[in-house]
Structure 1
Amino acid sequence: MALTMYDASVTVFMHNLKQLSHLLDKGAAHAEATGIDPATLIQAKLAEDMRPLSFQIQSASDASKLAVVRLSGVAAPSFADTESTFDELRARLANTRAYLETVPREAFQGSEERVVTMKAGAVDLEFTGQSYLLHFALPNFFFHVTTAYDILRHNGVPIGKRDFLGRA
Structure 2
Amino acid sequence: MPPTMYKLSVPAFIRGFSALGGLFDKAEAFASEKGMPLAELFDARLAPDMLPLAGQIQRASDTSKNAIARLTKIEAPRFPDEEQSFAELRERIAKTVAFLETVQPADLEGSENRDVTLSFPNLKVAFTGEDYLLQFVLPNFYFHVTTAYDILRHKGVPIGKADYIGGLG
Unaligned stretches of 5+ residues in structure 1 = none
C-alpha deviation, 1:167, in angstroms:
1.8
C-alpha deviation, 1:2, in angstroms:
2.2
C-alpha deviation, 1:149, in angstroms:
0.2
Q: Give the RMSD, CA atoms, in angstroms.
A: 0.9
Please give the alpha-carbon distance, in whole angstroms, between the structure 1 residues aligned to 2:73 and 2:19: 26
Unaligned stretches of 5+ residues in structure 2 = none
Aligned residue identity for 1:48: P
**Cα deviation 1:80-139 (Å, max 9, x = unaligned):** 111111111011111100000011211111101100111122311110000000000000
Please give the alpha-carbon distance, in whole angstroms, between the structure 2 residues aligned to 1:51 and 1:157: 19
**Hey, what does 1:90 align to over in structure 2?**
90
Please give the alpha-carbon distance, in whole angstroms, between the structure 2 residues aligned to 1:8 and 1:72: 14
Aligned residue identity for 2:121: G
C-alpha deviation, 1:73, in angstroms:
2.1
C-alpha deviation, 1:4, in angstroms:
0.5
C-alpha deviation, 1:8, in angstroms:
0.2
**Hey, what does 2:13 align to over in structure 1?**
13
Please give the alpha-carbon distance, in whole angstroms, between the structure 2 residues aligned to 1:92 and 1:56: 12
Matched residue of 1:77: which SS? coil
Matched residue of 2:8: which SS? helix
1:108 aligned onto 2:101: no
Q: How many residues align?
A: 168
**Hey, what does 1:161 align to over in structure 2?**
161
Matched residue of 1:98: which SS? helix
Matched residue of 1:89: which SS? helix
**Hey, what does 1:117 align to over in structure 2?**
117
C-alpha deviation, 1:152, in angstroms:
0.1
Please give the alpha-carbon distance, in whole angstroms, between the structure 1 residues aligned to 2:49 and 2:2: 42
Please give the alpha-carbon distance, in whole angstroms, between the structure 2 residues aligned to 1:124 and 1:151: 31
C-alpha deviation, 1:12, in angstroms:
0.5
> Scaled by the length of structure 2, what TM-score is found?
0.96
> Scaled by the length of structure 1, what TM-score is found?
0.97
Please give the alpha-carbon distance, in whole angstroms, between the structure 2 residues aligned to 1:95 and 1:25: 18
